[in-house]
């Protein structure tokens, strides 16, 4: 590939990463967020300071990604219909891949979810129908102040979920428009005159594009889910060269990622509305045994 073309693709990728980073900054929490789970899981999370991140391809909701993928596909199809022949060479394979199989085979995001305090729906869906707990984590937990200390495979990305079609279209349109303009620029500069150069460039562009399409799809949902007010921590694996060990594959793939800032940022542990006194005593013991005697155990007020 022509070196100038490679640099052009790298600039495209840098802009993509910057868009995702700005999305992270906009979604940064200012109040504690809560991870709803079982009491048994709480013990493991605190003792190991590790969260399990579940593959976004194996979430409980079988429409988890179809909303975002559908919007992205519609925008790619519209671009295919209006752009010139040079751009259509790039867009056609993406549009034909209706289920985004190429993305799924190349990249996999893993997610750990956080919601608002004492949310009745979260208790029902994620904490044993109200018998479990919710771990409150302060904003500093999500800040990752020393990003340079993390290896790429150890980084997690903050994803504040946005709801509704208008917000999703804005996110997906940014990556589609950026790709179209980059390809036009490469042709205008005469960087893709050789077939092999064009093939290599378009392949690299697609690989770079996949990450943001998937990130956008993971962090946008239909309005019907807006009650969740969800924030996600996300980790990504390049499946051609995975850097994070994948566990429990193929049933429900997950990665287990250490969270060295976890204990220092627990604000409280809330008992679910159906938890009994024995469960509360057990949670108190878990906290005390892990050097957290000052973390308060509270009780849900949800009916």
Q: What pLDDT score was predicted for residue 69? A: 92
Number of H helices, E strands in the chain: 9, 11
Angle formed at CA 141 by CA 293 and CA 221, multiple of 5 degrees: 125
- The predicted-structure confidence for 98-137, as pLDDT tens digits, reads as follows 888 988 888 888 999 999 999 999 999 899 999 999 999 9
Strand spans (E) along the chain: 33-37, 50-55, 107-114, 133-137, 157-160, 162-163, 220-221, 231-238, 254-258, 266-271, 296-299
**Positions of the chain with pLDDT under 70:** 60-62, 144-155, 303
Percentage, residues of the chain above pLDDT 70: 94
């Amino acid at each position: 590939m022509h070196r100038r073309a490679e640099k052009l693709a790298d600039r495209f990728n840098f802009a993509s990463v910057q868009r995702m980073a700005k999305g992270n900054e906009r979604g940064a929490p200012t109040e504690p967020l809560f991870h709803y789970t079982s009491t048994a899981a709480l013990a493991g999370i605190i003792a190991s300071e590790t969260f399990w991140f579940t593959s976004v391809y194996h979430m409980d909701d079988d429409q988890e990604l179809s909303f975002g993928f559908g919007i992205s596909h519609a925008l790619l199809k519209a671009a295919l219909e209006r752009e010139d022949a040079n751009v259509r060479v790039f867009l056609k394979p993406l549009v034909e891949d209706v289920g985004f199989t190429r993305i799924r085979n190349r990249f996999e995001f893993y997610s750990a979810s956080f919601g608002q305090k004492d949310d009745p729906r979260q208790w029902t869906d994620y904490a044993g129908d109200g018998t479990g707990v919710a771990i409150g984590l302060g904003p500093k937990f999500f800040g990752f102040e020393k990003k340079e200390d993390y290896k790429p495979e150890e980084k997690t990305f903050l994803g504040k979920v946005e709801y509704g079609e208008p917000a999703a279209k804005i996110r997906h349109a940014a990556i589609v428009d950026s790709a179209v303009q980059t390809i036009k620029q490469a042709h205008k500069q005469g960087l893709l005159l050789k077939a092999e150069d064009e093939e290599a460039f378009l392949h690299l562009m697609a690989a770079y594009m996949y990450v943001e399409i998937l990130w956008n799809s993971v962090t946008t949902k239909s309005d019907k889910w807006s009650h969740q007010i969800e924030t996600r921590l996300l980790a990504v694996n390049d499946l051609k060269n995975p850097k994070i060990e994948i566990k429990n594959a193929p049933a429900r793939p997950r990665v287990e990622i250490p969270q060295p800032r976890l204990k220092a940022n627990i604000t409280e542990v809330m008992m679910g509305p159906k938890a009994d006194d024995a469960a509360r005593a057990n949670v108190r013991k878990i906290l005390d045994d892990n050097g957290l005697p000052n973390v308060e155990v509270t009780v849900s007020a949800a009916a």
